Amino acid sequence: MPSAFRCFIVMILLVPGSAGAGQLPTGFAYLRDVAPDILQEMRYAGPDNFIGKPVPGYEAAECILQAAVAEALKRVQAGLRPQDLGLKVYDCYRPARATTAFLQWMVRASGPLYARHHPRVDRRRLRSLGYISASSTHSRGLSVDLTLVRVPPPAQSSFDGAANYSSCTANVAERSPDNAMDMGTGFDCFDIMAHSDATLSSEQRQARMLLRWVMLKHGFSAYHREWWHFTFARSRPAAALDFVIRPLGRN
């Protein structure tokens, strides 16, 4: 591992948590307290993600955000309700130690590959291609990874770690379980098919356009390489934080 990269890892690991005992940092909120009707499937708190196991810092499957961001999502949800649609979030605030884990996984020489998340890209190139960042706005509580789901949500099968799911670019029925609308790829699909200019079916394109339109309408900006990633542009930037995500009421 290059010395500069080792230094970066040490710096990230030393980022202090800012949450006092029993509370979130000032200005943060649990999304469940603000908009309990938004569906949550926090992928990094379980095994259905690109490293194949719970990510450091995720001790509960809870979405935490800056309060202004959570309130904006509440407005998005209200705007979707007349269409019998809603939001489903995959990731919100992300402890800085999780970013460290992603970077370490990316350069690791051995271990499981979980290549269904990057079927055509060597994982060592994911940072240079803009899929994994050394400094994430998720760690500032400003970004959210999400999608659209029909209301009421369809039933969803449980994730099976031993199953041989197809790549994230495969037909939706062949990917890992997800009851969301088909956006052309699964979440955390590090592939050109996840880009905003990807060639899609008309239904997939319309679903992505609707998601992007409603998010931009309520103050979010989009990321062209990841259809699921949005950052709240109307909130004040904050320093990256590293407090652990704990169950609601026990932070």
Q: Find tokens 């992007």 and name the residue.
A: 212
Assigned token pair, 117:
């998340």
CA–CA dist 25, 203 (Å, integer):
41
b/e code 50-86 from CB counts within 10 Å (16+ = b): bbeebbbbbebebbbbbbbbbbbbbebbeebeeeebb
Q: Flag whether 245 is in a domain.
A: no
Number of domains in the chain: 1
Q: What phi and psi values does residue 4 have, to the nearest 5 degrees?
A: -65, -40
Amino acid at 24: L
Q: Flag whether 203 is in a domain.
A: yes
Residues 6+ apart with CB under 8 A from 75: 218
pLDDT by 10s per residue, the chain, length 251: 444 444 444 344 434 444 433 489 999 999 999 999 999 999 999 999 999 999 999 999 999 999 999 999 999 999 999 999 999 999 999 999 999 999 999 887 444 456 899 999 988 899 999 999 888 999 999 999 999 999 999 999 999 999 999 999 999 999 999 999 999 999 999 999 999 999 999 999 999 999 999 999 999 999 999 999 999 987 666 789 999 999 997 55
Residue span of the structural domain in which 29 resides: 3-232
Q: Flag whether 9 is in a domain.
A: yes
Q: Flag whether 27 is in a domain.
A: yes
Q: Kindly report the CATH number assigned to the domain that includes residue 10.
A: 3.30.1380.10
The predicted structure's pLDDT at residue 4: 44
Q: Flag whether 28 is in a domain.
A: yes
Q: Flag whether 241 is in a domain.
A: no
Q: Flag whether 244 is in a domain.
A: no
Q: In sequence order, which ranges of 82-170 are alpha helices (DSSP H)?
A: 96-107
Q: Flag whether 223 is in a domain.
A: yes
CA–CA dist 103, 124 (Å, integer):
9
Q: Find tokens 């200005």 and name the residue.
A: 27
The predicted structure's pLDDT at residue 134: 87
